[in-house]
A = this chain, B = another copy of it.
Amino acid sequence: MSEPLNERTVFVISDSTGITAETFSHSVLSQFQQFQFDSVRIPFVDTIEKAREVAERINRCAEKSQAKPLVFSTLVDPKIARTIGAANCNFFDLFGAFVRHIERALGVKSSRSVGRSHTNVKSAQYNARIDAINFSLAHDDGQFVSGLDQADVILVGVSRCGKTPTSLYLAMQYGVKVANYPLIPEDFERGTLPTTLVPFREKLFGLSIHPERLSEVRNERRPNSEYASIEQCRFEITAAERLMRIENIPWLSTTNRSIEEISTKILTEVGLNRRVY
């Protein structure tokens, strides 16, 4: 039952969702590609009793795998953190490592209260987030034209270049109202922007993609169609990029970029600096 040396169990433990600890642990562990990490997230560990159960689980895992698990925590309560830290593990206490330094920098004590990160549920920020998601859904793929004046950004690009996931991510994570509008062969024949978009030219941001990748993506949806053929993809991409250059629309390629990277680049380029928690 023992694991080979290049595997290690990672526990991600929090008194809240554990999303912060999970994001951090994934990010730092991506620097150790010699290892395969099996990650177990244990959220809502907010009492000493729950912490004791988790500590026992960590101990059992250490014994079974003959290797100390890595434990990343954002536990706010020092007693709960110590209970976990006493288990047979390599303990990385994210809050403990920084809270005292921040207290010194700010000259105040932290409140040490559990679950502060997501409390603003009924706040204006929360409503802005839900509004942005609804806006992006209603304005997906050019389906709803009225209200485009309320968009913060309007993404344009050929079918299946990544507009929908990017719109939803920006709405979900940043509360940004993002519409998206397809560029289609008729637009390329005419050689101008869809007239609907002309009044909102300054809100437009383009997405493009390598023709080969586009053909792959379209083939998954409509195998062996004209729509998915490499010739059609090349034609549309060349024409779309030319249109964006002529119309002076900033754009980027989604090929080899994650949704997070695309979204971050768009926010940076259009000068939006927002975050909804």
Contact = CB atoms under 8 A, between A and B. Distances in A.
B105 A28 contact: no
A39 B264 contact: no
B17 A261 contact: yes
Contacts of A268: 43-44
Interface string A178-200: 00000000000000000000000
B116 A90 contact: no
Interface in A158-204: 164-165, 168-169, 172
A219 to B, nearest CB: 12
Given A43-B264, A165-B130, A275-B22, A74 B27 contact: yes
A2 interface: no
Nearest to A108: B34
Contacts of A22: 275
Interface residues on A, range: 35 or more
Nearest to A162: B130
A24 B277 CA distance: 12
Nearest to A118: B258
Given A19-B23, A168-B172, A105 B133 contact: no
Interface stretch (A94-102, A223-231, A239-247): A94-102
A31 B112 contact: yes
Contacts of A122: 213, 256
A38 B64 CA distance: 47
Contact of A20 (B23, B33, B102, B127): B23
B23 A113 contact: no
A118 B260 contact: yes
A77 to B, nearest CB: 11
A68 interface: yes
Interface in A43-83: 43-44, 68, 70, 74, 76
Contact of A257 (B30, B121, B130, B257): B121
8 contacts: A35-B108, A40-B273, A41-B273, A43-B264, A44-B268, A97-B97, A121-B258, A129-B259
